[in-house]
Amino acid sequence: MTMPWPTEVSSGGMMMDHRARPTTFEGRLMRWLGGWHPAVVHFPIGLLLTVAFLEFMALVRRKPIYTASNKLLLAIGTLGAFAAAPLGWLNAGLPAADDESALTIHRWLGSVFPFLMLLLWWLKPKAEEAVQRLPRPAFEIVLVVAVIAVLVQAYFGAEVTHGAGHMAF
């Protein structure tokens, strides 16, 4: 028995694959660039979750040195998020009336996410200040919101690529 490829149109995945393949150079280039979205998007997600983990460890173990590199990690993650968002738009194409709600939510939450990462970077104190562990509730609140947002975003991204019920037990 052979399994269909997850992105095959008949497999039920990749809701946006109903589009005809482009024939122009520009169309093929945009589709090719959009194909990089799944590879590029995971890097900023991993960096954000790493920052959250290090902030949590610094809080639990009372060693603020854990957070010394987080400003740099957020800077790199923010750059990656600003690359991943337009690639996602190229991957899914322009919004259409028949877009699934999962794609619509994923598209717009993904458009906001780079700015949320930029806000985190801006709120994060420099390494020298971070080791003093001064209270910074704005950063911590935005970090929790960003982690929740990235988990919701990941769920809808998986629903777009793998179909509804992808998390069924």
pLDDT tens digits for 85-125?
Answer: 999 988 887 777 667 788 888 889 999 999 999 999 999 87
Residue 5: pLDDT band (50, 70, 90) is very low
Chain-centroid distance of CA 90 in Å reads 15
pLDDT tens digits for 25-62?
Answer: 988 898 899 888 989 999 999 999 999 999 999 889 98
- Using alpha carbons, list the distances in angstroms from residue 13 to 37, 124, 125, 141, 161: 16, 39, 42, 35, 5
Domain ranges of the chain: 22-162
Distance CA(144)–CA(108), nearest Å, equals 19
Whole-model pTM: value is 0.78
- Using alpha carbons, list the distances in angstroms from residue 34 to 7, 87, 90, 91: 14, 5, 4, 4
